[in-house]
């Protein structure tokens, strides 16, 4: 339930983003046809140590075109290959079922550095090619729902999902200036962000109506549509109404190989998917947990990590309006809750983690929310904003990322702890940081908001 009505909320004289649209809606289960199949009907046998991935993929492929539910009875199922979903309305329904993956992806498909930041043993990814529908021809401010389009290749219809892609105006960098704010000098933008010809920002919308050149979209624009930034309307192949729920991923216990040397003990990868849900997932001895790439309005809930060191427990890139809630990151990690590659209007709420890293992974992520997060510190507290990403991708964060009611639990009550690293959070908003110690945090950049330090704030931007 959202407690704010519009794209911006006034707090004193400051405007905060409206995060009301994050996540899929509550009716997703009702949109998936009640066509039930069981993986045991296709040859999968629990608890026998033989590979079940072929039988599981056969079960998924056997679903009728309208989709349905694939049931995994309780027990242990062995995956020696990936489980693939490339169609809408597929529900993988676990029952506390264990998915045992005896080999990493590198042993199955060969060594590849991409295993460090992509793929998994369950992969949701559509087929097809992108189509350019048109260019937005007139300025529309962020928060607007209508844009004027020069149509190129057909027009979408009401109810259809589309994307807008934004590009940096190379040489002028006015898009990057908007993203980082006027206080940041251009030498901090990052050469890759300045010179790359690929989109800097992608965002998902549902078409409300088309009337000649006027296109009405939902949700509102997350940033201005300025013709200088070549805002391009795209038809992007995508999955919709998919659920993965109720699984325990287990990998062979092994020593962590080192940062960027991971071999692919990865759980779930979701690409170009909207209005979908990943729920009730436990990982043990994984390299990485859940990757979202180019997704919108996806909910991740009730995720727990256990075991040895991890790379990315939960990572969102090129994603918008996704919701991650009720998570518990027990396993030590390099990057905890990751936002990268222009991700925006995503929400992490009601989570906790051991020495949690709220990782803003450079590349212009903006207007994301962490709310009601508990960080459980070890004997030597770590900085909660420690983050990664290639240096040529600019500052760790872009504008107006919000961190609300971040609680710190120290081993030694009364610990004095200075929050650092936020000098790379232009226009960052830090409200209600508190705990059983004494926190110190000073404004590091003009326009930053630090409010209600050492006490819980009564401000709520997102609640269940």
DSSP designation for 225 = B
pLDDT digits (tens, 9 = 90+) for 297-350: 999 999 999 999 999 999 999 999 999 999 999 999 999 999 999 999 999 999
pLDDT at 303: 99
Whether 277 and 420 share a structural domain:
yes
Domain CATH number, residue 33: 2.160.20.10
**Same domain, residue pair 191 and 212:** yes
CA-wise closest residue to 40 among 29, 32, 48, 30: 48
One domain, residues 334 and 218: no
CA atoms lying within 13 Å on the CB side of residue 408: 34
What is the model's pLDDT at position 43? 98
In a domain, 108, yes or no: yes
**Number of domains, the chain:** 2
Q: Would you say 231 and 86 are in contact if contact means Cβ atoms under 8 Å apart?
A: no
Q: Is the pTM of this model over 0.75?
A: yes
Residue 107 sits in the same domain as residue 200: no
Query: In terms of Cα–Cα distance, which of 48, 90, 54 is closest to 71?
Result: 90
Q: Which residues have CB under 8 Å from 307's CB, separation 6+?
A: 251, 253, 283, 284, 285, 286, 331
| 63 SS3 class | coil
The three-state (H, E, C) secondary structure of 90-111, written as one string? EEEEEEEEEEEECCCHHHHHCC
**What's residue 16's pLDDT?**
82
DSSP codes joined into one string, 377-433: --SS---TT-----GGG-SS--TT-EEEEEEEE-SSTT-EEE---GGG-TT-EEE--
Distance between CA atoms of 414 and 416, rounded to whole angstroms?
A: 6
Answer with the one of 206, 235, 264 that is the final residue of a domain. Answer: 235
Retrieve residue 201's tokens.
């920002």
Tell me the CA distances in angstroms from 339 to 82, 93, 118, 313, 386, one per residue in order: 25, 28, 14, 12, 12
Instruction: Specify whether the CB–CB gap between 237 and 257 falls below 8 A.
Output: no
> Is 461 a domain residue?
no
Amino acid 461: pLDDT:
86
Whether residue 273 is found in the same domain as residue 291: yes
Q: How many CB atoms lie within 10 A of CB 65?
A: 9
- Domain contains 110: yes
Low-confidence ranges of the chain (pLDDT < 70): 1-15, 463-464
Q: Is 332 within a domain?
A: yes
- Among the candidates 235, 255, 272, a domain finishes at 235
Say how far apart CA 65 and CA 154 lie, in whole Å. 26
Q: How far is CA 90 from the centre of its chain?
A: 20
Find the radius of gyration of the CA atoms of the chain. 22
Domain that holds residue 259: 8-126+239-451
**Which run of H or E residues covers position 290?**
strand 288-293
Give pLDDT, residue 1.
33
> Are 207 and 224 in the same domain?
yes
As beta bridge partners, residue 233 has 134, 164
Please name the helix (run of DSSP H) or strand (run of DSSP E) that holds residue 463, with its range, or none.
Answer: none
């Amino acid at each position: 339930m959202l407690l704010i009505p519009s794209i911006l909320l006034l707090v004193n004289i400051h405007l905060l983003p409206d995060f009301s649209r994050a996540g899929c809606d509550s009716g997703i289960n009702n949109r998936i046809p009640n066509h039930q199949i069981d993986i045991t009907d296709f040859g999968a046998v629990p608890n026998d140590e033989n590979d079940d991935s072929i039988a599981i993929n056969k079960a998924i492929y056997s679903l009728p075109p309208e989709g349905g539910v694939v049931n995994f009875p309780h027990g242990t199922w062995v995956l020696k290959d990936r489980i693939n979903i490339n169609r809408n309305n597929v529900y993988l329904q676990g029952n506390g079922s264990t998915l045992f993956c005896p080999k990493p992806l590198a042993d199955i498909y060969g060594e590849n550095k991409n295993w460090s930041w992509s793929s998994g043993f369950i992969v949701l990814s559509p087929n097809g090619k992108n189509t350019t529908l048109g260019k937005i021809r007139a300025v529309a401010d962020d928060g607007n729902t209508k844009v004027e389009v020069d149509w190129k290749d057909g027009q979408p219809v009401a109810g259809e999902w589309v994307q807008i892609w934004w590009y940096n105006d190379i040489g002028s960098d006015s898009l990057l200036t908007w993203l980082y704010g006027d206080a940041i000098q251009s030498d901090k933008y990052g050469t890759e962000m300045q010179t790359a010809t690929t989109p800097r920002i992608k965002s998902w919308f549902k078409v409300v109506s088309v009337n000649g050149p006027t296109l009405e979209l939902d949700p509102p624009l997350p940033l201005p549509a300025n013709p200088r930034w070549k805002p391009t309307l795209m038809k992007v192949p995508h999955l919709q109404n998919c659920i993965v729920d109720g699984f325990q991923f287990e990998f062979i216990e092994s020593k962590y190989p080192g940062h960027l040397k991971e071999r692919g003990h990865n759980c779930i990868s979701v690409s170009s998917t909207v209005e979908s849900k990943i729920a009730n997932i436990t990982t043990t001895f994984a390299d990485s947990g859940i990757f979202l790439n180019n997704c919108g309005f996806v909910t991740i809930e009730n995720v727990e990590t256990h075991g040895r060191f991890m790379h990315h427990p939960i990572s969102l890139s090129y994603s918008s309006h996704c919701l991650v809630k009720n998570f518990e990151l027990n396993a030590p990690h390099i990057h905890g809750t990751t936002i990268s590659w222009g991700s925006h209007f995503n929400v992490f709420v009601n989570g906790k983690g051991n020495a949690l890293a709220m990782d803003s992974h450079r590349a212009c992520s903006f207007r994301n929310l962490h709310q009601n997060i508990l960080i459980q510190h070890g004997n030597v507290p770590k900085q909660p904003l420690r983050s990664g990403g290639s240096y040529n991708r600019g500052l760790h964060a872009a504008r107006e990322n919000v961190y609300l009611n971040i609680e710190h639990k120290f081993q030694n009550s009364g610990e004095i702890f200075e929050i650092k690293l936020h000098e790379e959070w232009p226009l960052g908003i830090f409200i209600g940081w508190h705990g059983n110690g004494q926190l110190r945090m000073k404004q590091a950049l003009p326009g930053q908001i630090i409010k209600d330090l050492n006490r819980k704030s009564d401000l709520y931007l997102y609640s269940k």
